[in-house]
Structure 1
Amino acid sequence: MRLEIDVKGNVNVPENPLASQTSRDTFPVTSEAVLDYEERLLRPDAARDDSEVVAAERYYHQATSSSVVNKTATEQTLRDAMRHTIVRRESLPETIYAPEGYFTHGELSLLKSPVSSVAVDRMLPGSFVAVGDRYEVTPDVLCSVMNLTSLDSGKVESEVVEITEKAVRFKLQGEFDASVDGVSTRLRMVAKMTFDRQAATVTWFALAIHETRDISKAEPGFDVTATIRMVRQPMANPAALPSKSTAVRFDAPIPAERLFVELQSRERMAGAMMDRRWRMIQDTPATAVLRMIDHDTSIAQCNLRSLVKLPEGKQWTLDAFLSDVRRTLGDQLVQIAGRDERVSSQGLRVLRVVADGKTQGVPVRWIMMHFSDDQGRRLHATFTMSADQVDAFAGNDAQLAESLRFLEPGDIHDGARPDTGRPLAGPESSAARVGDRAEAPSASDLK
């Protein structure tokens, strides 16, 4: 399986990423991505051969992307240890995870595909056809092939244009409104598809798309054109996949422990293992911004700041950190709801203060954390959320406290993030210290 994606267009960056879907800036973007992998389709033992495939096992021989956003270049690759993956499609967009190890944020974005090789055969008609026959692709098939959450309106029609002894060729065309994880998108598409009669499968799928996607809480919007070329070739035996398929429990959800992602800050030289609701929104010399998003609802934000290095062997006390929190929050502070200190599983000393207060009359909870090691390296983390999101937040600061580690240059795998040069929103509060702007998407995000 080989998938080549070329994208050109514009990224629409919001006026206020926390509250607005109005575009303030538009930046040009170009990107190229290549995914080359072998794929084994997986079904439950009792499933029929013609039943919908809801899982697959892949080995990526190549996974690369290069993009230029506003004249800033970024490259992304996949580590050798992460080439073996599992794809689950019980819900869409499909979920990709590794049987062993964890993807970085950039790797996970790289493997997002605009077209599913698992589902492309579902584009075929369900009966005998003749040249000139037309049929409409059903909404559930479009969602499955295009990795969409739902189809709201519109249609795609397919026409049989040629039949030979070896192949049947189709032309597809249409436009439709859809959503991806709660974000609205509009697509216009023209495609060509070849069905190999001997192999009994689609071996060629070429697609031209114009997509306009709304700005979301996690990513900027975009207006792009993309060309996608998919080549599929049946294999008698696997080349790199294990000879025996990896066990998948179809009667159970994906194991929660497989759905963590490593968020790396190149500027902070730090990384943490968080669940996939957390996104790295910004990483600049001033601050790194993580945001917890669930179906385009913003639950919490975390700002990371580097602090001046202390002399080796010297540490801050919890009382000193508490005083600093009180001074930072000032009149916004209503009460200190908790404080503690620990040594994390990564060997870092962690100071934690929980504070309740108000910003412009709105009840807010802050969780502030101070990380340090024996070499004097320090990092400050501030979680900010509205009081009504505390239950949904569900103690996610514990994930950061246990998994955050300081990185060496060789530990950072994700490509440098584009820097648009100016923030898109001022601080939410003096505690949050947000010079916030939307993340410029990677090449794969634009697919």
Structure 2
Amino acid sequence: MMRRRNFLLNSLAAVSLAASTSPRLHAESAEGRRVTLVPADQSLFRVRVEMDLKGNIHLSRNELVSKDRDRQVPIDYNSVIDFEERVFGDNGQGLTGARRYYHEARSEGKTAGTPQRIELRDSARHVATHMGQGRSVTYATRAYLTHEELDLLEIPVNSLAVDGMLPADAIAVDETYAVPAEAVGRLLDIDAVQDSEIEGKLTSLDNKTARLEFKGNVQGSVAGVPTMIDLAGKISFDLDSRTCTWVAMAIRERREIGKAEPGFEIAATIKMIRKPLSTAAAVSEQPLAEAPPEGQLLVNLYSIPGRYGVLMDRQWQMIRQSTSLSRLRMVENDRDIAQCDVRHLPPLKPGEQLTAEALQADVRRSLGDQFDEFLQVSEQVNSSDLRVVRLHAIGAVQRVPVQWVFAHCSDDNGRRILATFTMAAENVEAFAGADEQFVHSLRFLDLDTAAEADSPETPQAAAEPEQQTAALNAPQTTSSR
């Protein structure tokens, strides 16, 4: 009996010694002990996120005139994202971003009762994310993402920002702490936080796990559009690996109608599992660039009904499309910059081409009294062997100075479109010659099957975008915006 008693005493002493010497524990008592939750210097993770989202999209009759809701459309989606993540820092000053490889990224559900599905293309599974002020910047390193793929990947819980929700100082069970607004903004991955009242609390602590809760509300903005978020979440911090291994969040968000995107009111539940890895299976080891390569931030815009695709700045959105007309809009911080109407024209006979003089005459007739003069007339053949005749014209609409760019694009088979860019003269600088990017990257798509929407892959699939021209593929499956 004495030997057994000594054994128990020695065991308790060993546990007490281990607790007192652990780098994470600052007090040894079983009750009321304080703990400092310092994440380990770990750079490789496997992350899986599951999200259920329900709510309504709010639409206006004309968002450029009024943001009052005209109608609403119900949505119901489930998303699964599974990726390896290699984290990069800046010499101990903080995270700069990560490289990721997506083993799975898909979303399925219904918009107004119509089934929709979006899945990340194989060519876009290698992704880089840069952290900075405001939202993180995400891009595929071997392809150009579509807006739908960006929406799929940019979920409202940034795995790189989870550690920021931990208390900065030692804390005991049932103690609360204020979560900095900057940390909340990075976790939700929004542009700006105007007001944040998120409070955290250590709810339980044992020898293996510290469990925390946080809740409150946030007022912020995304692309200049106000958004209100009610947030409640839980975090499990593994004391052995010193890692936030599990995150669960419930979000209710109300975002106003923007000039390029609809408003919405949604409720989402999100579960994230993070596991430290010792070796990677697929994510790249190449160091992260200091800044995102500007050319790789272009978005792959395409029209299935219109059978064409272009690469444009991310400020451009496809807001309407049909077999006869597509409409793109450039919006910067909820400020309307320019609009582009793409019209399908009757085909010409094979080998025939519209002359610059004929296009000038057509433009003069269509603008009528609004026309003043042509600033520039040019002809070229783009990278897809399309012949482009382009006119820059100025004039006025209701005494407001306006500039137009007309781009007539055709192939040898007689297929042709006319892209008309319209902007107030004061927006010409912000427009930044977007018509040049449009005509240079324009390609016609043959869409008898979804697979034919993809253009050829790059010859060096393993190279990074800084060393090659990325693939210009339309997605295999798409969702309506």
Scaled by the length of structure 1, what TM-score is found? 0.89
SS of residue in 2 equivalent to 1:119:
helix
Question: 1:104 maps to which residue?
Answer: 146
Question: 2:302 maps to which residue?
Answer: 264
Question: 2:155 maps to which residue?
Answer: 113
Distance in 2, matches of 1:305 and 1:105, equals: 22
- Shift of the 166–417 alpha-carbon distance from structure 1 to 2, 3 Å rule, reads closer
Q: Deviations over 1:383-414 (max 9, x none)?
A: 01001111221211111111100012222326
1:199 matches 2:241: yes
Structure 2 residue runs without a partner (length 5+) = 1-46, 454-473
Q: How does 1:403-442 map to 2 (within 5 A)?
A: 403-409=441-447, 410-411=452-453, 412-413=474-475, 415-418=477-480, 440=481
Which of 353, 356, 360 does residue 318 from structure 1 map onto? 356
Question: 1:248 maps to which residue?
Answer: 288
1:43 matches 2:80: no
Distance in 1, matches of 2:137 and 2:125, equals: 15
Distance in 2, matches of 1:85 and 1:246, equals: 12
Question: 2:470 maps to which residue?
Answer: none
Q: Contact conserved, 2:119 with 2:478, CA < 8 A, in 1?
A: no
SS of residue in 2 equivalent to 1:16:
coil
Question: 2:94 maps to which residue?
Answer: 52
Per-residue deviation at 1:105? 2.6
Q: Which amino acid letter does the alignment assign opposite residue 188 of structure 2?
A: M
Per-residue deviation at 1:248? 2.5
Per-residue deviation at 1:223? 0.7
Distance in 2, matches of 1:234 and 1:380, equals: 53
Higher Cα Rg: structure 1 or 2? 2
Question: 2:104 maps to which residue?
Answer: 62
Question: 2:258 maps to which residue?
Answer: 216
SS of residue in 2 equivalent to 1:334:
strand
1:7 matches 2:53: yes
Distance in 2, matches of 1:325 and 1:72, equals: 40
1:129 matches 2:171: yes
1:139 matches 2:185: no
Q: Which amino acid letter does the alignment assign opposite residue 51 of structure 2?
A: I
Q: Deviations over 1:174-226 (max 9, x none)?
A: 11211122211001111111111111111111111110001112211101111
Percent identity over the alignment?
Answer: 39
Question: 1:443 maps to which residue?
Answer: none
Q: Contact conserved, 2:340 with 2:419, CA < 8 A, in 1?
A: yes
Question: 1:328 maps to which residue?
Answer: 366
Question: 2:425 maps to which residue?
Answer: 387
Report the count of equivalent residues: 411
Q: Contact conserved, 1:137 with 1:157, CA < 8 A, in 2?
A: yes
Which of 358, 370, 382 does residue 408 from structure 2 map onto? 370
Distance in 2, matches of 1:81 and 1:357, equals: 44
Q: Contact conserved, 2:341 with 2:419, CA < 8 A, in 1?
A: yes
Q: Which amino acid letter does the alignment assign opposite residue 347 of structure 2?
A: K
Q: Contact conserved, 1:260 with 1:273, CA < 8 A, in 2?
A: yes
SS of residue in 1 equivalent to 2:141:
coil
Structure 1 residue runs without a partner (length 5+) = 419-439, 441-447
What root-mean-square deviation, in Å, do the aligned CA atoms of Structure 1 and Structure 2 show? Answer: 1.5
Q: Which amino acid letter does the alignment assign opposite residue 118 of structure 1?
A: L
SS of residue in 1 equivalent to 2:277:
coil
1:358 matches 2:396: yes
Question: 1:169 maps to which residue?
Answer: 211
- Shift of the 235–23 alpha-carbon distance from structure 1 to 2, 3 Å rule, reads same
Per-residue deviation at 1:415? 4.1
Distance in 1, matches of 2:81 and 2:398, equals: 48
Q: Which amino acid letter does the alignment assign opposite residue 475 of structure 2?
A: H
SS of residue in 2 equivalent to 1:239:
coil
Q: Deviations over 1:250-293 (max 9, x none)?
A: 3xx32212211211111111001112222222222342111112
Question: 1:18 maps to which residue?
Answer: 64
Question: 2:125 maps to which residue?
Answer: 83
Distance in 1, matches of 2:163 and 2:387, equals: 54
Q: Contact conserved, 2:148 with 2:478, CA < 8 A, in 1?
A: no
Distance in 2, matches of 1:170 and 1:312, equals: 69
Question: 1:33 maps to which residue?
Answer: 79
- Shift of the 79–235 alpha-carbon distance from structure 1 to 2, 3 Å rule, reads same
Moved over 3 A (4+): 414-418
SS of residue in 2 equivalent to 1:81:
helix
SS of residue in 1 equivalent to 2:436:
helix
Which of 183, 188, 203 does residue 230 from structure 2 map onto? 188
Query: Larger helix proportion, structure 1 or 2?
Result: 2
Question: 1:431 maps to which residue?
Answer: none
Distance in 2, matches of 1:181 and 1:320, equals: 41
Distance in 1, matches of 2:68 and 2:402, equals: 25
- Shift of the 417–368 alpha-carbon distance from structure 1 to 2, 3 Å rule, reads farther
Q: Which amino acid letter does the alignment assign opposite residue 434 of structure 2?
A: N
Q: Which amino acid letter does the alignment assign opposite residue 347 of structure 1?
A: D
Which is bigger in relative contact order (C-alpha 8 A, separation at least 6)?
1
